[in-house]
Structure 1
C-alpha cells in the first residue's frame, strides 16, 4: 500500500515545479541596488560621450525627471535616460548625418509610392490621400489581402504618433527587404562598425495634423538606423525632424525626397513635435545593430540611481516641465513646437567652433566627402558592396524580460521571459523523470525481494 502512495507525491512535485515556471520573479529595490553597486554604477553618472554639451544635456534631463511628480513617468524616463545617455556608446561624432539614397533604389521605391497613392506620376505632384488602411491593421495584412471586419483584426497602436488622422501603411516586403540589404553597407561605412540586419519597415504615410513625440528607440536592436524620405504631397509644408546631437545642441533636419538621415536612434532623442500640415508624407525606417550587441532594458534598470523617487521643485530648477506620454517625451509649452520647448538649430547653422575644433571638423568633413565620393562611384558603376545575409534576417527585438508595475511607489518588477520559463519547465520535467525512474527502480527491487 505504501508503494502506491509515492505516485501522488510525484504528481504533487510535478505540479509545483511546473507552476514555478509561471511565478513572477520580482526584484526588490534592495536587490536592484545591490546589483547597481555590483556593476559599479555611481551618481551623478559618467555620461557618454564625454563632450561638455552632452554632459550638460543629460544632466538637464536628469534634473527634469527629478521634478516629475509621477512615479511611473519618472521610472520610464530614467530607463530611457540610462540607456541613451549612459550605457549606449556613440559610434559617430555628432550622432546623425544626411545623405542621398542610391539612385536606382530610389527610383524603384518611387514607383511603388506612385502605385500606392493611385498616381503613377509620383514626384510629389499628387495631392490625393493614399487609399490605404490603418498602419496598425497593416502590420498583419498585406495590401492584396481583403481587410476583415474592424473588430476582427488586432491593434498595435504606436504611442509616440499623435494627431486625429492615424498613419496609413503600404506593405511591400520584397522592397523593404531590398532596402535593408542594399543600405547595410552605407550604415556600416557611416558608423564604422560591422552591423547585423534587424528590420526595414514601411511605407508609412503620415497625414494632416500628425505629430511624432520626442523619443529614443529601443536599445535591444534599434541602434544604427536611417529614415529614408520617399515623397510628400505637393501641399505639404516642411516637416522637420528634431534630433539631439552629441555636442548638446538640438538640430532641425528637413529631408527632401530621396534623402537619407543616418542616426543613432537608441541614443539621440528625436521626433517631429511640429504639427504636420499637408495631405501625406511617406518614409521607410531601417534599423541595424552591432554584432554581439549586449544591451537590453534590464541593463538600464540596474543603472537607475537610488534617489530616483526623490522629487525636486520645478520653480527651484528653473527648467521646463518634462512629462512622458507612453514612450514619448513632452515639454509642454506654447509656440511652433507645442510639445518641445528647447530651441532647435537648423542643420548647418550651429554655433561657431574654436579654431582647432574647426580644423578638425574640416578634416572630418573632407574625409566624409571622400568616402561619399567613393560610395557614389560604386553606385554608378554597379559595384556597391553587398554583405552576406544575416542568419537572423527578421530580428524584431527580444524583450527578454517583461516589466510590470507591482506597487505605485516601487520600481517595476522583472518577469521571467519565455526562455527562462522554458528552462524552469525543462529542469522540472527532468527532475520528475529522475524521481519516477528512481521510484520504478525501487518498486522493481522490492518486487524482486
Structure 2
C-alpha cells in the first residue's frame, strides 16, 4: 500500500477516535449534569419532607397536650366526687347486668348483629394497622399520660392514654377503611364507623376494668391488642353469655382481632392486672341500616329510672382550662 494511502487511512482512524472520544465526553458530561440535578432534587425533596414531618410533629405535640389537659381536668375533683361517680356507675351497671336488664338488652338487640354468642374471632389485625400503631407506640410511649377518669377503670390511675393522629381515626380514614370490610364480612351487614378510639389504651400493673355493657351508640366493638408484657398476655377480656350468667375469658394475643357486641353483652376483666402491661386499640361500629340507638337508649333509661339509677354513662369532661406549656411537649422528636 502506498505511503500516502496509509497516511490518509491513519488520519481517518485518528479522526474517528477523536470523534468517539468527544462523543463519550459529551455523554459523560450529560450524565454528571443529570446526576447533579438528581442530587439537588433529592435534597429538595428531603428538605420538604423534613418540613412536613416537623409540621406533623408540631401538630401531634399540640394534640397530645390538649388531650392531656382534658384528662387532667377530669381528675380535678375531690375523692368524694370521684367515689360518687363510681357508685352511680356501679348502680347503673348492676341494673343492666341484672336479670331484668339482660332480658331487656336481648329483646332490644334482636336479632343479634353477629350471632347468639355475640362475639367473633376475626383473624389478625391488618398488618398495616398493627405496624403503624406499634411504631407510634414505640416512638411516643414517653408522651402517654394518665387516662381521663372513667368509673369503669376505677380511681387508681393505672390506665394511660397515648393519643393517635386525628387523620388516622376519622370516618373513611386509614384504620376505618381496613377494618370495615372485616366487620362487614363477619356480620353480613353494612357497617358504619362511630369512632376509632382517640388514644391507645395502656393498662399497667394494678389496672382494672369492671363488668359492664357499652352505650347503644357504640354497639359493636373491634378490640385490637397490640402489645402485652408479663401478666398482660393472660389478663383476658371476659364476655358474658346472652343470659348474663357465665362470663368466659376470651384468650387474645397481640395481633389478633376480636369483634363483639359490647352494648348487648356484659364484658370486663377479672381482678387487677397483677404485673406487666397491656396496650389496646379500639374501634366502634354500628349497622348502617335499621338501627335506632336513641330508641334503645330511651328504653334503657326508663329501666334505669325505675331503679333510681343514673340514666346515662359518664359525661364528657368539661373543656380544659388554659395552662402554661409543659416542657414535656417541647421536644421535637421525629414522628
Tell me the TM-score range normalised by the shorter chain. Answer: 0.5 to 0.7
1:355-397 Cα offsets, whole Å, 9 max, x none, are xxxxxxxxxxxxxxxxxxxxxxxxxxxxxxxxxxxxxxxxx99
Could you tell me which residue of structure 1 aligns to residue 105 of structure 2?
84
Q: CA deviation at 1:305?
A: 10
Could you tell me which residue of structure 2 aligns to residue 167 of structure 1?
159
- Asked whether the equivalents of residues 194 and 285 of structure 2 are also in contact (C-alpha less than 8 Å), the reply is yes
SS in 2 for 1:164: coil
Distance of aligned partners of 1:186 and 1:309 in 2 relative to their CA distance in 1, 3 Å threshold: closer
Could you tell me which residue of structure 1 aligns to residue 241 of structure 2?
245
In structure 1, distance between residues paired with 2:209 and 2:232: 16
Which stretches in structure 2 are left out of the alignment for 5+ residues? 1-87, 317-335
Distance of aligned partners of 1:194 and 1:239 in 2 relative to their CA distance in 1, 3 Å threshold: same
- Asked whether the equivalents of residues 240 and 266 of structure 2 are also in contact (C-alpha less than 8 Å), the reply is yes
Distance of aligned partners of 1:84 and 1:188 in 2 relative to their CA distance in 1, 3 Å threshold: same
Q: CA deviation at 1:87?
A: 0.8
Q: CA deviation at 1:197?
A: 1.1
Q: How does 1:42-441 map to 2 (within 5 A)?
A: 73=91, 77-78=95-96, 81=102, 84-89=105-110, 90-93=112-115, 94-98=117-121, 99-117=123-141, 130-136=142-148, 157-162=149-154, 164-172=156-164, 173-177=166-170, 178-201=174-197, 202-219=199-216, 221-234=217-230, 236=232, 238-246=234-242, 249-292=246-289, 293-296=291-294, 297-302=297-302, 304=303
SS in 1 for 2:279: strand
RMSD: 3.4
Q: CA deviation at 1:203?
A: 0.6
Q: CA deviation at 1:180?
A: 2.5
In structure 1, distance between residues paired with 2:201 and 2:307: 38
SS in 1 for 2:145: coil
SS in 1 for 2:136: helix
SS in 1 for 2:137: helix
Could you state the TM-score of these two structures normalised by the residue count of structure 2?
0.55
In structure 1, distance between residues paired with 2:153 and 2:208: 6
In structure 2, distance between residues paired with 1:244 and 1:272: 11
Could you state the TM-score of these two structures normalised by the residue count of structure 1?
0.42
Instruction: Name the larger-Rg structure.
Output: 2
- Asked whether the equivalents of residues 238 and 254 of structure 1 are also in contact (C-alpha less than 8 Å), the reply is yes
In structure 2, distance between residues paired with 1:309 and 1:299: 13
1:263-295 Cα offsets, whole Å, 9 max, x none, are 011101100122112242111111011124213
Distance of aligned partners of 1:281 and 1:95 in 2 relative to their CA distance in 1, 3 Å threshold: same
- Asked whether the equivalents of residues 233 and 253 of structure 2 are also in contact (C-alpha less than 8 Å), the reply is no
Distance of aligned partners of 1:100 and 1:237 in 2 relative to their CA distance in 1, 3 Å threshold: closer
Q: CA deviation at 1:74?
A: 7.0
Which stretches in structure 1 are left out of the alignment for 5+ residues? 1-69, 118-129, 137-156, 311-322, 329-395, 398-449
